[in-house]
Every structure is written in C-alpha cells, then in structure tokens.
C-alpha cells in the first residue's frame, strides 16, 4: 500500500526513472553483457519539455524505448503517472528519425490514422486532420502521397500525425536529424507552436545543442556509455521562444558553453576508452 503522500506525488509526476540499469546481451554472449544505462534517475513533470543529449551510444534511445514499454529495465523501474511501465505504453506518442508514413495513404489519410484507430467518426477525423495540416502549412497537399512530398513536409506530417491524438507524453528521437539547417529551424518553431496548444510532456533526443536550448525547459546531459545523468540543466530563457534568434537571447551563450564543455568531456572519455 502506498501512503497518501506517495500517491499524490506519483500522480503529479509524469515520468519517473528510478535507479534504472539496462544491460543488453548481444547474440547469446550472456557472459559479456553491454551495460547501456547505469543508475539513471530523473523525473519529468507534466507538460515539461525535456531534452536528452550526450555522445552517441550513451543510451538516449534506450531511455525512450523503456518509457514506451518496448524494452524492460534490467533493474530499477520506469514509472509513468505513478504506474510501472511493464508492457507497451499506449499513452505515449513516439516520433522517430524516420517519418514512418504509410506510402499507400495520402497525407490526409496518414494524419487521420491514429484517430481512425481510436474510432473517431470520419467527419470529425477529417476536420481535426485538416486543422493540423493547415497549422503546419501543408494545406493544398491533403491528397498527395508521401513520395510526392519533400523531406521537411513528410517530417511535418509525421509530427502532426502523432500530436493529433493528444498523447500525454510525446517521445521524439532525433526527429529533425536528416534535414537541412534551415528546415530544422522552421520545424522547431512549428513544433513549439504545436506544443504550446496542449503542452504534452515531451522527451526529445537531439545531438544539436542549439536545438535543445531553443525547445527545452530542461536538458539532461548523459555521460558516455554506460549512460547516467551527468547534469540536469534548467533552461531559463523566457517563452515563447523564437528559434530563429535564440542565440541572441541573454543567457544563451553561457548555457551553450556549459553544455558543450560537458559533452566534449564525455566524447573525449569515450574516445579514450576506445568506444565510439
């Protein structure tokens, strides 16, 4: 039985990683597991936008997979609204680096997909999809198929397709990775506008420190593998933010330098150990 006080804290906290370790056993080599995460502890409050940054291979994607219930911690626990995540977590939306649009469905039909699964009536589905399509400037392309859209347009479609069903937590794993710098900044601005509408909790993985600063309330810096949290930065820059001019905002330079110093130390450590 939980005490009343614990229960209250649990419902308030959206995401809670408690003493999480994750080891992977590579192809039957059970004698030599790879420790991906060690002693990971962090909490995310409802509506917070939190970025995870750190050297490649430090366990960022593993964290998202644990919260999505796609994988289980080796020890410790991952809590979502006070309940342990033990199987596929249907209250998260997951946006990966690939847009995962269905090639045989039009833009409109792709955006409607989740609402269709939820049994939302066709007229309402189309109205909501249309609204989101307009919000990201894709009006006029409703009947186009994914191969007829640019990379940036497909990315927008993938994002609104996930945000349309108001999931409580949105996981984004380097969603703007393959795009050119200009398109990235435009999409960052659009993402912030979409996020402001319903303020879901967001866990956002990026290797772009400027992007992390422009978007986040907090930035968690991971150590090189096994990943653990090295530093938890609060981003104090005021909102609403303008990703086009974020580097001119007072406080930006200091935060960027601090983040970069941390990351560089970790990258050098992983080089030194022959990993990465």
Ligand X SMILES: Nc1ncnc2c1ncn2[C@@H]1O[C@H](COP(=O)(O)OP(=O)(O)O)[C@@H](O)[C@H]1O
Whole-Å CA distances, 236 to 19, 77, 170, 218: 27, 30, 22, 9
Size of interface with ligand X, in residues (CB under 6 A) = 12
Asked if 201 is part of the footprint of ligand X (rule: CB under 6 A), the reply reads no
The binder of 59, among ligand X, Mg ion, none, by C-beta within 5 to 8 A per type, is ligand X
Nearest to Mg ion of 47, 177 (CB atom): 177
CA distance 209 to 217: 13
What's the token pair of residue 117? 């699964």
| Gap between the terminal Cα atoms of the chain | 45
Which residues, 104 to 123, sit near ligand X by CB under 6 A?
none
165 Rama class: left (phi>0) / alpha (psi -120 to 50) / beta: alpha
Please give the residue whose beta carbon sits closest to Mg ion in the complex.
61
The binder of 175, among ligand X, Mg ion, none, by C-beta within 5 to 8 A per type, is none
Q: Which of 26, 121, 123, 181 binds ligand X (CB under 6 A)?
A: 26
Q: Which of 20, 50, 60, 213 binds ligand X (CB under 6 A)?
A: 60
What are 35's strand-pairing partners? 23
Nearest to Mg ion of 173, 217 (CB atom): 173
Q: Which of 14, 51, 61, 162 binds Mg ion (CB under 5 A)?
A: 61
Asked if 58 is part of the footprint of ligand X (rule: CB under 6 A), the reply reads yes
Asked if 40 is part of the footprint of ligand X (rule: CB under 6 A), the reply reads no
CA distance 65 to 185: 26
The distance of closest approach from Cβ of residue 56 to Mg ion in the complex, given in angstroms and rounded to an integer, is: 7
Give 3-state DSSP helix, strand, coil % of the chain, rounded to 5: 40, 20, 40
15 contacts 44 by C-beta, under 8 angstroms: yes
Nearest to Mg ion of 51, 61 (CB atom): 61
Asked if 61 is part of the footprint of ligand X (rule: CB under 6 A), the reply reads yes
Nearest to Mg ion of 110, 206 (CB atom): 206
CA distance 116 to 120: 6
165 contacts 197 by C-beta, under 8 angstroms: no
51 contacts 212 by C-beta, under 8 angstroms: yes
The distance of closest approach from Cβ of residue 130 to Mg ion in the complex, given in angstroms and rounded to an integer, is: 33
Output the CA angle 272-54-249, nearest 5 degrees.
Answer: 125
Nearest to Mg ion of 135, 179 (CB atom): 179
The distance of closest approach from Cβ of residue 268 to ligand X in the complex, given in angstroms and rounded to an integer, is: 17
Instruction: Considering only the stretches 8-16, 41-49, 57-65, 248-256, report the one whose residues sit in contact with Mg ion under the rule CB under 5 A.
Output: 57-65
The binding site for ligand X (CB under 6 A) comprises: 24, 26, 34, 36, 56-62, 225
The binding site for Mg ion (CB under 5 A) comprises: 61
């Amino acid at each position: 039985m939980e005490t009343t006080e614990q229960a209250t804290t649990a419902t308030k906290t959206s995401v809670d990683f408690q003493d999480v370790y994750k080891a992977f056993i590579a192809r039957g080599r059970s004698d030599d597991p790879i420790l991906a995460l060690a002693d990971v502890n962090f909490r995310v409050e409802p509506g917070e936008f939190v970025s995870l940054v750190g050297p490649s291979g430090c366990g960022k994607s593993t964290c998202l997979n644990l919260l999505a219930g796609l994988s289980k911690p080796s020890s410790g626990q991952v809590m979502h609204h006070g309940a342990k995540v033990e199987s596929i977590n249907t209250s998260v939306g997951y946006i990966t680096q690939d847009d995962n649009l269905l090639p045989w469905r039009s833009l409109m039909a792709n955006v409607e997909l989740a609402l269709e699964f939820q049994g939302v009536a066709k007229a309402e589905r189309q109205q909501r999809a249309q609204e989101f399509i307009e919000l990201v400037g894709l009006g006029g392309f409703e009947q186009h198929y994914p191969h007829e859209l640019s990379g940036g347009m497909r990315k927008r479609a993938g994002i609104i397709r996930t945000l349309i069903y108001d999931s409580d937590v949105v996981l984004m794993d380097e969603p703007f990775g393959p795009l050119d710098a200009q398109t990235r900044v435009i999409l960052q601005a659009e993402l912030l506008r979409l996020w402001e509408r319903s303020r879901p909790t967001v866990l956002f993985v990026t290797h772009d420190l400027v992007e992390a600063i422009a978007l986040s309330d907090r930035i968690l810096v991971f150590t090189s593998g096994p990943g653990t949290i090295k530093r938890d930065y609060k981003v104090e820059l005021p909102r609403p933010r303008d990703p086009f001019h974020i580097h001119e905002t007072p406080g930006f330079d200091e935060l960027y330098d601090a983040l970069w110093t941390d990351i560089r130390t970790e990258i050098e450590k992983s080089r030194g150990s022959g990993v990465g």
